[in-house]
Structure 1
C-alpha cells in the first residue's frame, strides 16, 4: 500500500506572495499577548460533528484536535498520535480491514484529565450513532467498530478492506471529543448539549472562555497544551460576522485584526487593500469549488413541515435532467471567474478539481450555450405558452428560488446567473441569507443550506487531505439531511443513485492508485456531468489575509486553515 505517495502533484502556485514561515522566537507560553482573528461568517457552534459549515469546523480546530491531520502539502502528519500507521510499520493490517492508532504519552485535556483510548472510541460512537445526525458521517463510512486495545491504543475495524483508512478521527473535520463531557449527548440528545457544544474541552492550543454564537469567541492559551512555550499568544479573539470587505480592511488597511479568512473579493479590491501596508493577501489552490446544488426534492412551503424538502416528494421541475442541463449550459463560467476571482479562480466542471489523479477531463460545461439551453427546454416540453417570457409546462411556471449566503461576490454571481436564466425563459427569485445562519446547522432554522428550502443554492466547500473518497461518499443514498437526523447530513441536494453507491463501495475496496483515480473521476462525472445534480462553477483559490507582524502562518488548503495556530507568534521589530 503506497497511500503516502498519493496525489502530490495537484497544488497550484499561489496567486499572491505566500507567507514564509520564519523561526518562532523562543519564550514562555502567552508571551505575545493577544492575537485577533476575523471570520466574516461567524461560528454558530464549536462542535464540527453538528455543523458542516467551514467557519464552525475551523473555529473548533483551535480547541479540538484529531489523531493526525494534513499539512500544507497534503501530507499526513501525526498530532495526537505517535505516528501514522501503515502496512509497512504494522499499523495497518495486511488485509486492510483495520488500522491501529496509538496516542502520544502524557496527553491531557484542557481540564487536566488524561486523554485515553476511551475518548477515541466514544468519538466514533458519537458520530456513528443512528439517531445523531452527524454532519461528518462520511468520515466514518465503512467503520465497523473502534476497539480499545489499552489506555493508549485503539484499532479501527472496517466492514471490508479499506485501502484509504485515514478518515475516521483524522483531519480537522473529525477531531477527538472528550467522552466525559459528551457522555449524555449521544443520538438525538446531541443538539441539546449547549454547554458542551459551545465550550468543548480540548487538547488544542486554546480554550474557550466565552462563546457568543454568531458573534465573538474569546479564548485563552491552554495551560495544559503538550508543547512548552506554545501558543505564543495568551489570548485569542475570534470575531465573526460582517462581510469580506470589512474583514480584509481590518487586517490590511487598519491593522485592527491579525488574520482574516476567506477574502471572497474581486482581485482589484484585494490589491487596493494591500496598499494599506498593514497586511497582505495569501492564496493557494486546493479543492475549494463554488457550485450550484440542484434540489432533487420539493421545498414548497405548501407541504407539511417534516415532509418539505424530503425524498418523499421529488422536485416538480428539477427532477428533469434536461432542465438541470439547460440551466448549466446557460452559465458563462469564464465571466464569473473574471468578475469574482481573477487569478485566484479557474472555471471548472468538476466537484473534485484536484489532485491531478482525481481531476476529470470534464470541460463540456466551459462553453456557454444559451441557444442550446433554450432548445433543450423546448425538447423537454417547457414553452412560453402565454408570451410572458417565462416558460411553462402542464400549467406550471419555470420559476426558481435561488439562494446563497450574503457576500458581494456571491450576489454578483446570483445577478449574472439570474440574467442568463431569464434569457432562456426561467423566472428567478434571488435570496441571500446571513452566512452565520446559512452555514449554522441550527435544526430549528428554515434558512440553513442543509435544510435547503429553495430550488437551487450556491456555496463552496472542500475536503480534508488529498483523497476525495469520503467527500464523494457524502452523496450516498440515505445521507441526506432530514428531520430524523436533525437536518444534518452531507447529501445536500438529496441525490440518490444505485450505480453511484456501488461505485463508492468499489472505490473503498480499491488500493491501486490509478484505479482509485479512475473511479474517483467517474463518480465526479456522475454527479456533475451525467446527472448534473451539482453544477460546478469556479475552482477557487483559498485567499486570506495576514498582518505583516504575524509570524508562523502557513496557509493550508488540505485541512483547517488554522491548523498550525500553535506556531503563530508576533514578529519583533
Structure 2
C-alpha cells in the first residue's frame, strides 16, 4: 500500500498542472474554496519526492504540455524553441509576473530555480542534460549535452517551478521547505500551515500566465482556499454532499465513487493520470520457457471481465505505453489486441501444440507428468483481480496459484529472477520513463543493449512525430518475446460541487484549474 500511496501522490503533481481558485458562502459571491487533497509536505517542490494535486495552486510549472499535439505550450515561460541539433533551447520570461511578495519574476530566478533543482531534487536526473544556462534580457538559453524528451516532461510538470533567487540565496534548504514563496496563483497565508491537516492559501493578485489552454490567465477567482488532508473518506463524501467542501481532488476508494454517482449535487470526472498495470513472465521458468505457453496465457485474459469485477475502476490496456501517454502510438496497441488478446480458443490450440493436455480430466493440463501450474506474485492489498484472472486461466487449463506479498517484495522476487509471474505498475505521462523502468527482470530476453539503445535514440529525437513513430517500434520490440503483458490502467476520479464551473480535464488527465469559479 505504501507504494501505491507514494506513487499516486507523485502522480498528483501532474494531474493538476496549474493552479486553481475557490469558494465560501453564497454561490454567486463565494470568496473561499474548500478542497480536500493529499497531504502537503512542503512548499519547495524541488525537494519533494511526492506532491499533492492541489499544490499546483501554489507552484505553477514553467510550461504546459499539450496532450493533443504532443508539444510544449506557454505558461509561466513562453516561446519554447529547440535548435535543430537538440543542443540549445531558448525561451522567454515575460515581464509583469509578480510573486505574492510583490517582487517581479526575473529570468535569473528561473535559472537559479533550475540550478536549485539540479542540486536537491530526487528527479534531477530528468533534466541533468542541462549543462549551463545564459540570460540575455528576458531570454533564457539552456545549453544541453543532448536533447532529451523527458527534460521537456519535467519542465511542463510540477517538479520544476520558480522560486525567487533572493530566497534561494538567503534560505537554507530546511527553511525553504515552508518558508519560500513559489510563483503561483495562491500563496501560503500567514500561519497558514496546520501540520498534518491543512494549508490555508491566499490569492496572489500579481499572478499571470500565458497558458493558451485556459481562459483565465490572471489571478484566481477566489480570495482564499482551504486545503485539508488526512480526512477520512466517509467524512469527505458527506461534506461534499452537504456543500461544506467544494472539491475532492482524488477519491480514495470505489465505495466513494459508487456513493457519489447517485448524488445530484456532485459531478464526478475522470482525472486518470497515465498508468499501466502489467506483468512479466519468467522465461527461465519451466512453465514459461516455451513462447507458445506465454502466448496462450496472454490470449486467455479477458480484460473486460476484469473491468466488471472491479466495478469499472480499471480500463483495459493493450500497450505498455498507455493511450494517454505522450507520443502514444496506436499501431502497437492495435497489433497486440489483434494478436495477443481475447482469444481463449486460440490459447487452447497453442497449449495443445506445446504438448500440454488435460489427460486426467481435472481441468488442468499436464505435460511429462507435471501440471501446467505457476505462482503469481500479487500485492497484499490487491488480490481481487488475480483471483478473477485465475478463474479465467483455469478455463484454458492453467493452474494459477496466488501468493500475496508486500509490493516491494514482488519487485525483489522479479528482480532476482525467483518468480514465475508477477504484477508490476508504472505511472508516467512520458514514455521514456516507462520504457526505462518496465523491465524489473534484469535477465529478461528483451532487456538487451539493443533495446536500451532504441530507448536512448527515441529520448534524443527532437521531432515529436518521429518520436511517436519510434515509440511504436520499441513496443513491437517489447512484444517479440511475449514475456511482458499489459493488462489495465487504474482509474482515478475527482468530485466537485455541480455549481462549480471550469474544472476542465485534458486528454492526459491533467486539469489546469485557472478557470474554476462559481
| TM norm structure 2 | 0.68
Task: Output one character per residue of 1:440-488: Cα deviation in whole Å (capped at 9) or x when no partner.
Answer: xxxxxx699999999744556341xxxxxx4324433xxx6xxxxxxxx
Task: Output one character per residue of 1:355-413: Cα deviation in whole Å (capped at 9) or x when no partner.
Answer: 786223231343154994897799699x9xxx9x999999xx94443127x5xxx6532
The question of whether the paired residues in 2 share the 8 Å contact of 1:162 and 1:509 is answered with yes
User: Which has more helix, going by share of residues?
Assistant: 2
Please state how far the C-alpha of 1:220 moved relative to its aligned partner. 0.9
Q: Size of the alignment, in residue pairs?
A: 463
Aligned residue for 2:468? 517
The question of whether the paired residues in 2 share the 8 Å contact of 1:265 and 1:340 is answered with no
Aligned residue for 1:14? none
- Give 1:547's match in structure 2, choosing from 492, 497, 506: 497
Aligned residue for 2:342? 367
Aligned residue for 1:280? 267
Tell me how far apart the structure 1 counterparts of residues 440 and 171 of structure 2 sit (CA, whole Å): 24
Please state how far the C-alpha of 1:518 moved relative to its aligned partner. 2.1
- Give 1:236's match in structure 2, choosing from 226, 247, 270: 226
- Give 1:64's match in structure 2, choosing from 29, 53, 59: 59
Aligned residue for 1:79? 75
Distance change (3 Å), C-alpha of 1:70 and 1:522? same
Q: Is residue 2:95 matched to residue 1:105? A: yes
Larger Rg: 2
Distance change (3 Å), C-alpha of 1:492 and 1:163? closer
Aligned residue for 1:190? none
Aligned residue for 1:309? none
Q: Secondary structure at the match of 2:467?
A: helix
- Root mean square deviation of aligned Cα: 5.2
Q: Is residue 2:447 matched to residue 1:461? A: no
Distance change (3 Å), C-alpha of 1:279 and 1:175? same
Tell me how far apart the structure 2 counterparts of residues 51 and 315 of structure 1 sit (CA, whole Å): 39
Distance change (3 Å), C-alpha of 1:320 and 1:248? farther
Q: Which runs of 5 or more residues in structure 1 are unaligned?
A: 1-22, 26-30, 87-91, 187-192, 297-313, 434-445, 464-469, 481-489
The question of whether the paired residues in 2 share the 8 Å contact of 1:333 and 1:348 is answered with no
Aligned residue for 2:213? none
The question of whether the paired residues in 2 share the 8 Å contact of 1:330 and 1:421 is answered with yes
Q: Is residue 2:401 matched to residue 1:427? A: yes
Tell me how far apart the structure 1 counterparts of residues 329 and 365 of structure 2 sit (CA, whole Å): 39
The question of whether the paired residues in 2 share the 8 Å contact of 1:136 and 1:173 is answered with no
Q: Is residue 2:206 matched to residue 1:258? A: no
Tell me how far apart the structure 1 counterparts of residues 235 and 290 of structure 2 sit (CA, whole Å): 40
Tell me how far apart the structure 2 counterparts of residues 325 and 42 of structure 1 sit (CA, whole Å): 43
Please state how far the C-alpha of 1:530 moved relative to its aligned partner. 3.1
Tell me how far apart the structure 2 counterparts of residues 414 and 459 of structure 1 sit (CA, whole Å): 14
Please state how far the C-alpha of 1:178 moved relative to its aligned partner. 5.5
Tell me how far apart the structure 1 counterparts of residues 411 and 177 of structure 2 sit (CA, whole Å): 20
Aligned residue for 2:432? 472
Please state how far the C-alpha of 1:119 moved relative to its aligned partner. 3.9
Tell me how far apart the structure 1 counterparts of residues 197 and 102 of structure 2 sit (CA, whole Å): 26
The question of whether the paired residues in 1 share the 8 Å contact of 2:379 and 2:406 is answered with yes
Aligned residue for 1:34? 32
- Give 1:219's match in structure 2, choosing from 194, 200, 204: 200
Tell me how far apart the structure 1 counterparts of residues 48 and 104 of structure 2 sit (CA, whole Å): 27
Please state how far the C-alpha of 1:237 moved relative to its aligned partner. 1.5
Tell me how far apart the structure 2 counterparts of residues 94 and 425 of structure 1 sit (CA, whole Å): 55
Task: Output one character per residue of 1:67-117: Cα deviation in whole Å (capped at 9) or x when no partner.
Answer: 211358566432211x2334xxxxx33444211122121434445555443
Aligned residue for 1:134? 122
Tell me how far apart the structure 1 counterparts of residues 276 and 36 of structure 2 sit (CA, whole Å): 22
Tell me how far apart the structure 2 counterparts of residues 198 and 380 of structure 1 sit (CA, whole Å): 64
Aligned residue for 2:16? none
Task: Output one character per residue of 1:225-270: Cα deviation in whole Å (capped at 9) or x when no partner.
Answer: 4146524141222334655x8755653x44342223445876x985
Aligned residue for 1:502? 453
Tell me how far apart the structure 1 counterparts of residues 145 and 353 of structure 2 sit (CA, whole Å): 48
| TM norm structure 1 | 0.63
